[in-house]
Amino acid sequence: MLSSLTDPAGRRISYLRVSVTDRCDMRCTYCMAERMTFLPRSDVLDYDELLRLCRVFVQHGVRRLRITGGEPLVRRDIGPFFQELGSWLKHSDNRGQLEELTLTTNGSHLAQYAQTLFDAGVRRVNVSLDTLDEARFTKITRRGKLAATLEGIRAARDVGLALRINTVAMAGVNDDEFDTLLAWCGEIGADLCLIETMPMGDTGEDRTSRYLPLLDVKADLSKRWTLTPIPDATGGPARYLRVGETGRRLGLITPMSHNFCATCNRVRLSCTGRLYTCLGQEDGADLRSLIRAGVDDAVLERAIQDAIARKPKGHDFLLGASEADVSGPQRHMSVTGG
| Residue 84 CB contacts under 8 Å (≥ 6 apart), including other chains | 47, 51
Residue 63 counted as an annotated binding residue:
no
DSSP 58-101: HHTT--EEEEESS-GGGSTTHHHHHHHHHTTB--TTS---B-EE
Angle of CA points 188, 89, 1, to nearest 5° = 140
Residue 113 counted as an annotated binding residue:
no
CA distance 249 to 160: 18
Residue 198 counted as an annotated binding residue:
yes
Residue 299 counted as an annotated binding residue:
no
| Residue 314 CB contacts under 8 Å (≥ 6 apart), including other chains | 259, 261, 262, 278, 280
Helix (H) or strand (E) holding 9, with range, is none
For residue 251, list its beta bridge partners.
Answer: 193, 240
Residue 66 counted as an annotated binding residue:
yes
DSSP 223-239: TTS-EEE-----SSS-E
Residue 104 counted as an annotated binding residue:
yes
DSSP H helices, the chain, are: 47-59, 78-86, 110-120, 134-141, 146-159, 178-188, 214-221, 287-292, 297-308, 333-336
Residue 266 counted as an annotated binding residue:
yes
- How many other C-beta atoms lie within 10 A of the C-beta of residue 232? 13
Cα–Cα separations (whole angstroms), residue 252 to 29, 97, 334: 20, 29, 21
**Spatial contact of 229 and 241, defined as CB atoms under 8 Å apart:** yes
Residue 143 counted as an annotated binding residue:
no
For residue 181, list its beta bridge partners.
Answer: none
Residue 24 counted as an annotated binding residue:
yes
**Spatial contact of 198 and 256, defined as CB atoms under 8 Å apart:** yes
Residue 70 counted as an annotated binding residue:
yes
Residue 28 counted as an annotated binding residue:
yes
CA distance 110 to 74: 10
Residue 17 counted as an annotated binding residue:
yes
Residue 264 counted as an annotated binding residue:
yes
**Spatial contact of 116 and 138, defined as CB atoms under 8 Å apart:** no
Closest CA to 241 of 224, 232, 229, 254: 229
Annotated binding site: 17, 24, 28, 30-31, 66, 70, 104, 128, 198, 261, 264, 266-268, 278
Annotated binding site for [4Fe-4S] cluster: 24, 28, 31, 261, 264, 278
Annotated binding site for GTP: 17, 66, 104, 266-268
Annotated binding site for S-adenosyl-L-methionine: 30, 70, 128, 198
